[in-house]
Structure 1
Amino acid sequence: MGMISDLPDQMLLEILSWLPTTQVVATMLLSKQWKFLWRQVPKLYYNYSEHEGRDFSEFVSRSLQSQAVAEPENFFSRFVLELEIDLTAAQNPMITALPKSMYTCETLSCLRLKALVLDDIPEDYPICLSSLNYLYISVSIQVSADKFIGKLSAGAPLLKKTVVQGPVYGDDFLDSMTSYSELRSFTTCLSESCNSRPLSSWNQPGFTSTTHVPECLSTTLQTLEWRDYAETEFDMPVVSFLLKNATRLSEAKIFPESAAGPIEKLRIRTGLAKLSRGSPLCHLNLGN
């Protein structure tokens, strides 16, 4: 241990940043020098597959709270730049409660939440993610992420890129975009797998036309990617609305759902090519 322990703390933290958080936390047992070092790691990566049957939610909660020894109400603010919680390997949907202090992290710039069952953010939670510029969320088919994303992005004024994978329903989809002021890139895939739309009842409501245009569509949004597009009462009018009102858009990538046959895909591409575009510089990329 002597040689690696002789390295500067900053270098050790960089090394730890590339390890799963389960291994990072385990270093606290190495020596007195390492006992608290892991609490300063700027990247935390929680992966369900690394836990081998242990209580994942409990581990996430305890390890995050253990960083709160010095500042119980603000343990994220000084160190964490990137946070990822990945439940993709879980066989059953799991609710993982996110600590209240995460929503006021001043340094968090990248947040990735994969395959989580998300509860709505409580109304009394203050949200101030002043450095967040990248948000990735994939959610279970059982819930909608629109309200969660809307509240989260409302407190993230510098958010520039958002990727949403999973079901997004109704008018709340556009409502969630009204909070974006710096958004430059938006990607969505309406199925969990991003390969095929679920065959079970896909009863998302249709989209009701709105006169309110999110500010980011006319000021900052430059790239739009829509995967698993289908001719539904939601997909068609929403994509039409986005293309028409995104006046700064330089590229729109739209990919028909993979389950569609050749004739259906041709019909989809033909219909999309006819849609009005608010940006004269927008390149429409219709993928396979």
Structure 2
Amino acid sequence: METRICDLPDDLLLRILHHVPTKDALATSILSKRWRYVWTMLPTLEFIDDGSESVGWFIENSLQLHKAPKLYCLTVEVGPRCPVDLDVGNWVDNAVNRGVRGLFLKLLWNAEPTSFPKCLYTCDTLVALTLSNQILVDVSFQARLPSLLSLNLKYVVYKDEDSLVRLLSSSPVLKVLHVHRHEDDNLINFTVKVSSLKTLHYVATWRKDGKKDKVEGDEFEENDVEDDNVEEVEEDDGFDEIEEDEVDDDDVDEVDDNVDDDDDDVDEVEDDDDSNPSLVIDSPALTNLKLDYDWDYCLIENMSCLDEAKLHYVRNPSDKFLRSLSIERL
């Protein structure tokens, strides 16, 4: 059986390895000389921290050995035991330099929020991007993401409101935006001004004890949000070219469908306080809206009638907001 498998061409072996975890694919390099370098041409890599303190070393060395000219998709999740002195920015730079299309980064380590190099926000090939947890979104320059269709921002920290504005304005074809906020993200106003946006899912909760409200599914399993984006990047298993129309609003799964509605734990916010957190939506093409939050005000600057909306709670909705809800499904 081993001889028969070894006789298969490299492209078929790569398709086989593509359907096993990256860690197992790398382990095939010790099977024989025939297998030693097959994995190095995989078009996608996924590194999920299993609690080992050596996960950073493993990722670093794997990326150095990886030789494929194109890296279609890179997923990295590191946990609290991961050393905090790793150069995650170097991993991002490696992926961008090889035309990455899907980049999914989740940092659960004990380091301060980490910023990424400028190349991440000026990547011409990036189609889907997920940034999660201990990440600082610092866009202090003119960003450019001409191919980005799907953006996921989960419990990140923003350098300032201008960084958010620059990030969103750099994405002229963005269709899907998922946002999960917490109270320490450095923002008061969260402005979504994207003319091409079709789907917006926005989750934000705040409790009196300063802790984030528990959202169902908040453990953020790999199949939570990232799978929505992986489908956009790897519809052809990462081996074929990707067309922009692979992202369809109807294919976007809802994320974190329910929020614990414990209103006793929500801070009362006075209407005349200028520091009140607010969500501003200026997206005339928006057709799918989901809002789960207990502490923001929502201001509609520009939004046509929706096809579908799911609202957990909206404080003092304006007439313009209510008129936008002339929809088929609510």
Q: Normalising to structure 1: TM-score of the pair? A: 0.70
| Counterparts of residues 115-264 of structure 1 (less than 5 Å) | 115=107, 119-122=114-117, 129-140=123-134, 144-147=135-138, 154-169=143-158, 170-171=160-161, 172-191=163-182, 202=184, 204-207=186-189, 214=193, 217-218=194-195, 220-229=196-205, 236-237=277-278, 239=279, 241-242=280-281, 245-256=282-293
* Distance of aligned partners of 1:93 and 1:227 in 2 relative to their CA distance in 1, 3 Å threshold: farther
Deviates more, 1:9-18 or 1:56-65: 9-18
Per-residue CA distance 1:153-184 (angstroms, 9 max, x = gap): 93431000001111334412223212111111
- Alignment-derived partner of residue 62 in structure 1: 61
CA distance in 1, matches of 2:82, 2:116: 22
Q: Secondary structure at the match of 1:183?
A: coil
Q: Secondary structure at the match of 2:300?
A: coil
Q: How many residue pairs are counted as aligned between the two chains?
A: 238
Aligned-pair CA distance for 1:127: 6.6
CA distance in 2, matches of 1:8, 1:229: 52
CA distance in 2, matches of 1:126, 1:132: 9
RCO (CA 8 Å, sep 6+): is it higher in 1 or 2? Answer: 2
* Distance of aligned partners of 1:113 and 1:174 in 2 relative to their CA distance in 1, 3 Å threshold: same
Per-residue CA distance 1:168-202 (angstroms, 9 max, x = gap): 344122232121111111001014xxxxx6xxxx4
CA distance in 2, matches of 1:25, 1:79: 18
User: Conserved in 1, the CA contact under 8 Å of 2:204 and 2:292?
Assistant: yes
User: Conserved in 2, the CA contact under 8 Å of 1:129 and 1:155?
Assistant: yes
Q: Secondary structure at the match of 2:169?
A: coil
- Alignment-derived partner of residue 258 in structure 2: none
User: Conserved in 1, the CA contact under 8 Å of 2:52 and 2:81?
Assistant: no
Q: Which one has a larger percent helix, Structure 1 or Structure 2?
A: 1
Q: Normalising to structure 2: TM-score of the pair? A: 0.62
Ranges in structure 1 where 5+ consecutive residues have no aligned partner: 68-74, 192-196, 258-263
* Distance of aligned partners of 1:62 and 1:234 in 2 relative to their CA distance in 1, 3 Å threshold: farther
CA distance in 1, matches of 2:185, 2:114: 20
The yes-or-no answer on 1:281 pairing with 2:305 is yes
CA distance in 1, matches of 2:12, 2:300: 52
Q: State, as a whole percentage, how many aligned pairs show the same letter.
A: 21
CA-atom RMSD, angstroms? 3.3
CA distance in 1, matches of 2:303, 2:83: 41
* Distance of aligned partners of 1:162 and 1:93 in 2 relative to their CA distance in 1, 3 Å threshold: farther
